[in-house]
Amino acid sequence: MHAQKFEINRRAIPSDATESLWRAQDGWPIRRIDWQGAKDPRGSLLFLPGRGDHYEKYLETLAYFASLGWRVTSIDWRGQGVSGRLLDDPHVGHIDDFSTWIADLRHFWGIWKAETLGPHVVLAHSMGGHLAMRALVEKAFDPVAVALSAPMLGIQTGGLPLSLNHAFAKLMCMIGRAETPAWKVSEKPLSPMNVRGNILTGDKDRYEDELAWWTLRPEVKLGPPSWHWIERAIASIRSLDEPGKLEAVKTPVLLMATTADQLVSTPRVIKDSKRLPHSETLIFGKEAAHELLRETDAVRDQCIEHIQIFLDQYAPVK
């Protein structure tokens, strides 16, 4: 199987997609986008984006799976995109605790699953991949298959133990820096904006799609995370270390990653894949950066092809 060639205007909402707001249990506004897809869809796919992301970045991939007959949905996480910011400074990424996102996902999944046809599958990127894994562990949702792009199962720590990074983040919160950005710009400390594109993708045009959306819809732009976000992220990552948690996940999981990733820990992705009873991996090298679904065609096509094969196996056409 080869991924079909598919082109859309990546800087415009497709005419067959619908944007709307959904309310979490506490009334918080969560933005969503939906493709109704075929009259008789082959199933329903939920896409979960990464930290600082907004669903506009992934229109190409979402529309592609809709063209295959999936009923596709994506959401902006609380505090990101157009799902309501959490601090006075709207450009600082923040959350009280990752369990809040799990609660939002649990509630959304219950409603979305009831209103859509199965089989129900999940595709997630980076932080969305971490939250998907936690949701599987905590039984917050029950997809028949999950595909993860560069999942944040671990983070790059500059060679230092994760526990030391955690201790430093806790210290920064204790001295009153909890709601201040952990670094100035870009996606990681000491990384200027002019190299941000190289950290994310080798495809210049796809990278510039995001910048174009910042102009078209300035409200979707989000900057670095707060120190509290960093502390809670590490705590959430470490929570999956507990023996038996990943081993109890029965859902088939496809994990895609790259050894050149400068943001998440690919060794941790590989290690955790071996703890999962039903996992497959697709590992790239220097040809790929963090955003695999927004990479050059040579990389992205491989990802799309593997996802299709994976879903055809575990969520076949009825």
pLDDT tens-digit profile of 55-94?
A: 999 999 999 999 999 999 999 999 999 999 999 999 999 9
> Is 9 inside a domain boundary?
no
> Is 100 inside a domain boundary?
yes
Let me know the angle formed at the C-alpha of 26 by 20 and 31, rounded to the nearest 5 degrees.
20
Length of the chain: 318
> Is 6 inside a domain boundary?
no
Question: In degrees rounded to 5, what are phi and psi of residue 198?
Answer: -65, -30
> Is 45 inside a domain boundary?
yes
Confidence bin at 158 (pLDDT 50/70/90): confident
Contacts of 178-181 spanning 24+ positions with Cβ under 8 A? 178/226, 178/227, 178/228, 178/231, 179/87, 179/89, 179/92, 179/94, 179/226, 179/227, 179/228, 180/92, 180/226, 180/227, 181/89, 181/92, 181/223, 181/224, 181/225, 181/226, 181/227
pLDDT at 3: 59
| Radius of gyration for the chain, computed over Cα atoms and rounded to the nearest angstrom | 18
Question: How far from the centroid of its chain's Cα atoms is residue 15's Cα?
Answer: 24
Share of the chain above pLDDT 90, in %: 90
Asked whether the predicted pLDDT for residue 50 surpasses 90, the reply is yes
Identify the domain containing residue 120 by its residue range: 17-314
Asked whether the predicted pLDDT for residue 2 surpasses 60, the reply is no
pLDDT at 4: 64
Q: What CATH number does residue 79 fall under?
A: 3.40.50.1820
Q: Is 133 helix (H, G, I), strand (E, B) or coil?
A: helix
User: For tokens 């959306």, what's the residue?
Assistant: 213
> Is 265 inside a domain boundary?
yes
pTM of the predicted protein model? 0.96
Look at the chain and report how many structural domains it folds into.
Answer: 1
> Is 1 inside a domain boundary?
no
Cis bond leading into 119, ω under 30°? Answer: yes
pLDDT at 1: 53
Write the CA distances from 306 to 3, 253, 285, 290, 303, integer angstroms.
9, 12, 16, 17, 5
Strand partners for 280: 254
> Is 277 inside a domain boundary?
yes
Q: Which of 50, 104, 47 is nearest to 70 (CA)?
A: 47
192-216 burial, b at 16+ Cβ within 10 Å, e below that, comes to: eeeebbebbbbbeebbebbeebeee
Confidence bin at 313 (pLDDT 50/70/90): very high
pLDDT tens-digit profile of 191-234?
A: 778 889 999 999 999 999 999 999 999 999 999 999 999 999 99
Asked whether the predicted pLDDT for residue 96 surpasses 70, the reply is yes
Cβ neighbours around 52 below 10 Å, total? 22
Distance between CA atoms of residues 33 and 22, nearest Å: 10
> Is 35 inside a domain boundary?
yes
- Which strand ranges, in their side-by-side order, compose the sheet holding 29-35? 17-23, 29-35, 70-75, 43-48, 120-125, 145-149, 253-258, 279-284
* CB distance 46 to 85 below 8 Å: no
pLDDT tens-digit profile of 13-32?
A: 999 999 999 999 999 999 99
Distance between CA atoms of residues 220 and 55, nearest Å: 9
